[in-house]
Amino acid sequence: MMNPDNTGRDDAGRLARRRMIFEDIYRRGVRNEGVLRAMEDVPREHFLPPELQDAALEDRALPIGAGQTISQPYIVAYMTEQLDVTPESRVLEIGTGSGYQTAILARLAKEVFSIERLDRLCEQARRRLAALGVSNVHLRCADGTLGWSETAPFDRIIVTAAGPQIPPALLDQLRDGGILVAPIGDEQDQRLLKVRRNGPRLIETPLIAVRFVRLIGKSGWKE
């Protein structure tokens, strides 16, 4: 991890992100250099409403409207590290939200296919990603619990809302050798679950306790 005081030619925003990464992410155990670099490259404030941009470097979830949130930076970094994205990965993201996690994934993957059920958030994310010059993301406004069968299978799948179980369609769309990371549980009790496909077998590994909004859809919670 780069020394947070090594400013070089960094602008103030990048230096501030570097300090946040060192203090709130690296010190808590995230060590993947690609993930840390992506977190440094992507300005979180770009994905927040104007009135909350001053809080962009705080390690907490923030509201983005429509009852949804942008995840805290540590959780974004942790989930991305667990996903183990490679430059050849085709990633499916369920729950585009603000587009922040999408932009992080786009720095690491070959292609990102992201689904958001709320049209307003979907279009906002599309504009924000375009403004940053992100060109390897495909967005769809739809029910994410059904996945994106036309472009399956995927090497990696990440779900950014908590459901009572992993939607069966997402497991069906996970490539052999692929990894899925998703929060599972109700509104009060959730835990990240990492699933690796090995042929017909699904190997599950419980991870940390988390708190996400509910995954709404045909194979999730009812609205």
CATH of the domain at 21: 3.40.50.150
Is 37 domain-assigned? yes
Length of the chain: 223
Phi/psi at 38 (nearest 5 deg)? -65, -40
> Do the Cβ atoms of 48 and 62 come closer than 8 Å?
yes
pLDDT digits over 86-110, tens only? 999 999 999 999 999 999 999 999 9
Least confident of 15-19, 101-105, 126-130: 15-19
Is 3 domain-assigned? no
- Residue 91 is part of which domain span? 12-210
Is 106 domain-assigned? yes
Is 6 domain-assigned? no
Return the closest-CA partner of residue 105 out of 95, 121, 124, 92: 92
pTM of the model: 0.94
State whether the Cα torsion 29-55-47-1 is positive or negative.
negative
pLDDT at 143 over 90: yes
Is 59 domain-assigned? yes
Give the Å distances, CA to CA, from 109 to 87, 89, 92, 142: 5, 5, 10, 22
Is 44 domain-assigned? yes
Hey, what's the torsion of the CAs at 57, 24, 139, 127, to 10 degrees? 10
> Among 71, 89, 114, 219, which one carries the catalytic annotation?
71
In the numeric block, the tokens 């059920």 are attached to 117
Is 223 domain-assigned? no
Q: Which two tokens stand for residue 63?
A: 């509201």
Per the structure, the count of domains in the chain is 1
Pairing between β-strand 154-159 and β-strand 174-185 as defined by DSSP bridges: parallel
Angle in degrees, CA 154, 183, 100, rounded to 5: 70
3-state secondary structure at position 190: strand
pLDDT classification of 10: cutoffs 50, 70, 90: low
Is 2 domain-assigned? no
Active-site residue 219, yes or no? no
